[in-house]
Amino acid sequence: MKQRIASLILFIFGVLTPYSYGIQRFPKPEFETGYVQPQTSMPSARLEFLAYLDVAVLVLALSIVSWMVLKKRSRTGVFWISMFSLAYFGFYREGCVCSIGSIQNVSLAIFDLSYAIPISVLAFFLIPLIYTLFFGRTFCAAVCPFGAMQDLVAFKPQPIGIRLNTILGILPYLYLGLSVLYAATGTDFIICRYDPFVGIFRLNASFGMFVFAGILLASGVFIARPYCRFLCPYGVILNWFSRFSRRHMSITPSNCIQCRLCENSCPYDAIDIPVQSKDPESKQARVKKLILISLIMPLMIVAGAYAGLILHEPLAGIHSKVKLAKQVLNPPKDTKLADTFEMQAFKSSGKPQAQVYQEALLVLNKYKQASMILGGFLGLVFSLLIAGRMLKKYNPDYTPNKGRCFSCGRCMDFCPIKPGS
Amino acid sequence: MKMFNPSHTTIRILERIALTAGLFAFVLCILIMVNYYQLRRSDPLNTPGIKILVERLNSNPEDEQLKQQIRELDLLARKAFFTNRWQIKTGGYLLIFTIFVLVSSLKTIELIKPRLPVLPSDEKETFWNNRLLNRKWLSYSGIGLLVFALVFAFLSYRQLGKTLELSATNPAAAKGENTESVSPTANQTGAVSDSSSVSDTASATATAAWASWDELKQNFPGFRGPGGNGIAFQKNIPVQWDGKSGKNIKWKTAVPLTGYNSPVVWREKVFLSGANNSKREVYCYNALDGKLLWTTAIEKIPGSPAASPKVNSETGQAAPTVATNGNLVFAIFANGDIAALSMDGKISWSKNLGLPKNHYGHSSSLLVYQDLVIVQFDQSGNAAVLGLNSTNGEIAWKTSRDVKVSWSSPILVNTGSRFELILVAEPYMISYNPKTGKELWRIESISGEVGPSAAYADGIAYSVNDYSKLAAIKVGSNPTQLWESDEYLSDIPSPLATSSYLFLPTSYGTFVCYDAKDGTKYWEKELGSPTYASPVLVDGKVYQLDKKGVMHIIRPDKVFASIGEPQLGEGSVCTPAFSDGHIFIRGDRNLYCIGK
C-alpha cells in the first residue's frame, strides 16, 4: 500500500514537472480589452500592540526553550519550538524584527542621537542577551528563525577541519565590525541588505540573494549552520555573553562517566573534550609566549587601526554621499551609467557641486575615525583569540563550549546517563 | 521467511519521497532560473517587432490595420512578461512546498532511525596539536587580512579625500556642473522662491568651469547679491545689534582706503576695494574673525592713465563693487583699470578699458555671468556694455549703447524663457542676451543722470530716477509700460521688487511701498536719515541701511511693519552683504560683521 502511495506521489511530481513549465511557457494570446485600473490603495500600518506581541512571543519562546533544554532536556521539544519560531518569526513576521539586525538599530541609536530606536527593536536586542547570560544561547537553539532553518537541513554534518574552522571563525567578527561601522555612520544596514534568508521568508529577493540563500542551505546539509557559525554578527555577542552564563546546559545530567559517546555528537564542534594529558610545552615556554602576545597585542591593535585608516576611503565608498560625489567628480563616460537616479536627483535639486563634495568630505572624515576603531577592534580580537589559546585549560569532563554551543540539545540524547538514573 | 519490518519499509518509502522531492526541487530550480534569465532579457516596452511596426506606421500614420497589429503585439509582449513573473512566483511556492516535503521526509527518517553514537578515534593526543594549529592559523588569518587590507588600499588608492577637498574649495575647477534652473523671484511674503523651470543651457554643459547659479546664491557674489537684483538667499540673519555697546558685533576692522563700494562674500572671504588718487587696492578679509588676509595693489597696468580722473567726492575712485565667481575676484576703478585676482590675491589678469568719460566718476558695479564679467561702461559719447572672458580678460563681446552717461549697474534676471541682462540709462531700459551681448528689447522709460539700477520680479522690470519717473515695464520682445509714478523718486539707491511689492528708497530718506502690479501706493515711511544704500530682501525681511548707519528692518507687507532699527554707530553709504547668520556692512571707516 505504502509503495503504491510512493509511486503515486512520484507519478504526480513527474507529470507536474514539465507541465508546470510548459503550460505557462507559451500562453495563448488574449486580446480582451476593457481593463479597469484598480484604485490605488495604501496598506494600513501594522497595529502598534502587535510589536509588543512579538516581544511577548519572544520572551515566551525563550522561556520555553530554556526550560526544555535545562529542565526537560528534550531535543524533540527544542525542535518543535524551532519549527514554531521558523513559522512565526520567519514566515509570519517575514524575518523582521530580528535580533541580528537590531545590532544596527542599537549602533545607530548610540551614534546618532536624532534616531529614536523602537522599544520592540531594543527588546529584541536585549532580551536574548539577558537570557543568554542566565541560560546560554537558547535563543540560537530554537528562537532564531535563521538558526531554525539551517538546523532543519543539517542532515549530514561533517567536520570541516581546524584550519578552515579557524579562518572562517574570524568572519563573524569582521561582519560585526562592518555592520556596526556602516550603521553607526548612517551608511547602510548591511545585515538586512545582505540577509540571505529574509528573501525566502518573503518570497521576494534579488536573484543573487536567492542564490546566496540556496548555497548556504545546500552547504548547510554538510556544514551545520554555516551562517550562525561563520557569519552571524549577533552570534559574536551571544558568544561573549554565554561564556558567563549562570546555568548553561550540560551534556550529562549527572557525573560524566567519560564514555565518549557524545564526543562526535555535536554538528557544530562545540564540545570541549577532557584534557588530561600534560601540555607538551613547558610552563616557561607558555609564559614566554604570553608575555610575547601581551607585547604584540598593542602592536596588533595599532596595525589594525592603521589598516582601517588606509582603507577608510574604500570603506566609505558605499556611503550615498561619497558615491554621489565620486559620480559628480568623475561621471562615467557611458551616458547610461552616468544617468543614475542619484545623479538625476542631484541635478534636479540644484544643489551645488561644492556642497556635494563638502558633504562627502564630512563623511570621509567620520570614516577615518570609525575605520581606525574597526581595525583596532579586529586587531584586539585576533590577539585575544590567540592569547585565549595559550592559556592552560583544565577540563576534566565532556562539556559544551559555553561560547560556541547553540544549546540545541543534540548531545544530550547521546549521553547514556538519564535524569534520575 | 523474510520478516516484515514496518520501520524498514517506511524508511524506504520516505527515502523515495525524499529522492523524488529532491529531484523535483532541482528541476524546479533550473526552470525558475531559466525563467528568471528570460525575464531579465525581456523588455516588453522595447520589443524589436513593435519598433519595426512603429517605424512603418510613422511613414503611413493612417494605417488602422497596422495600429491594431501594434496594439495586439504590445499586449502579447506585456502578457508574456507578466506570465513569466507569475511562473517564477508560482514556481517559488511550489519549490517551498517541495522542499518542505523533502525535509519532512528526511526528518521523519531521522526520527525513525536515529543516528547512533560512534566512538571516535583517540583525539586526546591531538588536543595540544589542535591548539597549536589554531594559534598558527589565527596568526595566518590576521596577517592575511592585514596584507589584504594593504594591497586593497594600495590598489584602490585614489586620494579621494584630497580631490574632494580641492574640488570643494575650488568648485569652478570641478569637472562637472549642476543644472542651473532658476532666477530669483520673491513672493508676496517676501520669501524667495525659484519658480522658473527654465534652465541655463550653457551652464548645464558638463564641462563648464564657472560658478553655478546655486553657488552664486549660496554666496553674495556682487553688488545687491546674485544677479544684482537685491535678493539674497541666506538664512538666520540677525535683527538686533548695537555698534556702540558691541552687541552682536562679531568683529570690526578698519578699511585702509576709502571706497563707496559694498562688501562681497564668498564662503569665508569678504572682498572690498578702496582707492585714492594714487593707489587702488583690493582687500580680502577673513569672514570669521575680520583678519585682513591680503591686500593687492592694482598698479602698473598697461594703458592706465598716469593720473586718476577727477571725480565727485561722493563717488570716489572706487565706487563700483567687486564681483566674484568663487574662482576669481574682479575689480574696476574710476580710471578704467580692471583686474581679476585669484582667491589668494594674485593678479590673474588686468587691463585698462580706457578712461571713462564720466563727470562724477565711474560707479557701475561688475556682474559675473557664467564665464563672463559684465561691464556697463556708460560714458559720454561712447557708451557700451562689455562681456569679458573671466579667465583672461579678453573681450568676448562688446555692444555699443546709444545712451547717456549713467551710474547704474547691470542686473541679471531669468524671465522664464531666458536669462536677460537689463541696463538702464537715459533714455532706455535695454535688455541684452548676457551670453552674446545681443540686444533683446528696449523701451524708453527713464531720463536724467541715472544712478539707481533696475529691479525685476515676476516679469516686470522697474526703472527709476530723480526728476524722471518710476516706471514698471512688462518685459518681453514687445515691452510695455504697466504703470508709472513720479511722487517719490530716487537718484542713488535702487528699488527692490518682489512679485507683490515694489520698495523704493529715496536718497532723502523716504521709503515707499507700491503694489508691484498696478502701482498702488501702500505706505511710505520717513526713515529719518538720507539713504544711499540699496535695500536687500533676505530671510523674508527687507534690510535698508540709512546714511547714519541705522538698519531699517521691515516686513514686506501691505502695511508698514518695522521688525527692528539696530544701529551700527557709524555712517554708511554701502549696501550690506550677507552670509548665513551674518551681515557685513562697510561703514565710513570700518568693515563690520554682525552675527552671533
Q: Do A352 and B13 touch (CB under 8 A)?
A: no
Q: Which of A369, A389, A390 to mutate to test the interface with B (most CBs of B within 10 A)?
A: A389
Local structure of B346: helix, strand or coil: coil
Start-to-end CA span in chain A (Å): 42
Q: Is the pLDDT of residue A240 over 50?
A: yes
Q: Do A264 and B9 touch (CB under 8 A)?
A: no
B532 vs chain A: nearest CA distance in angstroms?
34
- Residue-wise pLDDT for B516-543, tens only, equals 999 999 999 999 999 999 999 999 999 9
**pLDDT at residue B7, rounded to an integer:** 73
C-alpha cell at A284: 616557561
Cα–Cα dist B391/B372, whole Å: 8
Cα–Cα dist B375/B389, whole Å: 11
**pLDDT at residue B416, rounded to an integer:** 79
Q: Is the pLDDT of residue A142 over 50?
A: yes
Local structure of B108: helix, strand or coil: helix
**pLDDT at residue B194, rounded to an integer:** 42
**pLDDT at residue A386, rounded to an integer:** 86
Mean pLDDT, range A12-31, rounded to an integer: 50
The phi, psi pair for B320, rounded to 5°, reads -70, 135
Cα–Cα dist B206/B209, whole Å: 9
The phi, psi pair for B307, rounded to 5°, reads -120, 150
For chain B, domain boundaries: 6-112, 213-594
Local structure of B424: helix, strand or coil: strand
- Residue-wise pLDDT for A210-239, tens only, equals 889 999 999 999 999 999 999 999 999 999
Across A69-81, b (16+ Cβ under 10 Å) vs e yields bbeebbbebbbeb
Residues of B in contact with A322 (CB under 8 A): 160
Question: Within chain B, which residues score under 70 in pLDDT?
Answer: 1-6, 121-126, 157-158, 168-209
* Average pLDDT of every residue of chain B: 87
Confidence of residue A335 (pLDDT cuts 50, 70, 90): low
For chain A, domain boundaries: 50-275+398-414, 283-388
- Residue-wise pLDDT for B219-262, tens only, equals 999 999 999 999 999 999 999 999 999 999 999 999 999 999 99
Q: Which of A13, A215, A312 to mutate to test the interface with B (most CBs of B within 10 A)?
A: A13
Q: Do A360 and B164 touch (CB under 8 A)?
A: yes
Q: Do A313 and B133 touch (CB under 8 A)?
A: no
**pLDDT at residue A10, rounded to an integer:** 63
Q: Is the pLDDT of residue A49 over 50?
A: yes
Q: Do B137 and A260 touch (CB under 8 A)?
A: no
Cα–Cα dist A142/A64, whole Å: 10
**pLDDT at residue A276, rounded to an integer:** 66
Nearest CB to B160 within list A2, A153, A364: A364
Q: What is the CATH number of domain B213-594?
A: 2.130.10.10
Our CA angle for B74, B77, B79, nearest 5°, is 105
> Is the pTM of the predicted complex or chain greater than 0.80?
no
> pLDDT: is A35 or B248 the higher one?
B248
Q: Taking Cα atoms as reference points, which of B247, B330, B29, B434 lies closest to residue A211? A: B29
B6-41 helix and B64-112 helix, angle to the nearest 10 degrees: 150
Local structure of A161: helix, strand or coil: coil
Q: Is B567 exposed, middle or buried (0-12, 13-18, 19+ CB in 10 A)?
A: middle
**pLDDT at residue A381, rounded to an integer:** 92
Q: Name, in order, each residue with C-beta under 8 angstroms of B519's C-beta and a sequence gap of 6 or more.
A: B470, B472, B482, B483, B484, B485, B502
Nearest CB to A389 within list B134, B149, B152: B134
**pLDDT at residue A61, rounded to an integer:** 97
B67 vs chain A: nearest CA distance in angstroms?
14
**pLDDT at residue B187, rounded to an integer:** 46
**pLDDT at residue B208, rounded to an integer:** 42
Whole-number Cα distances in Å, B541 to A61, B501, B551: 62, 13, 12
Nearest CB to A314 within list B107, B141, B156: B156
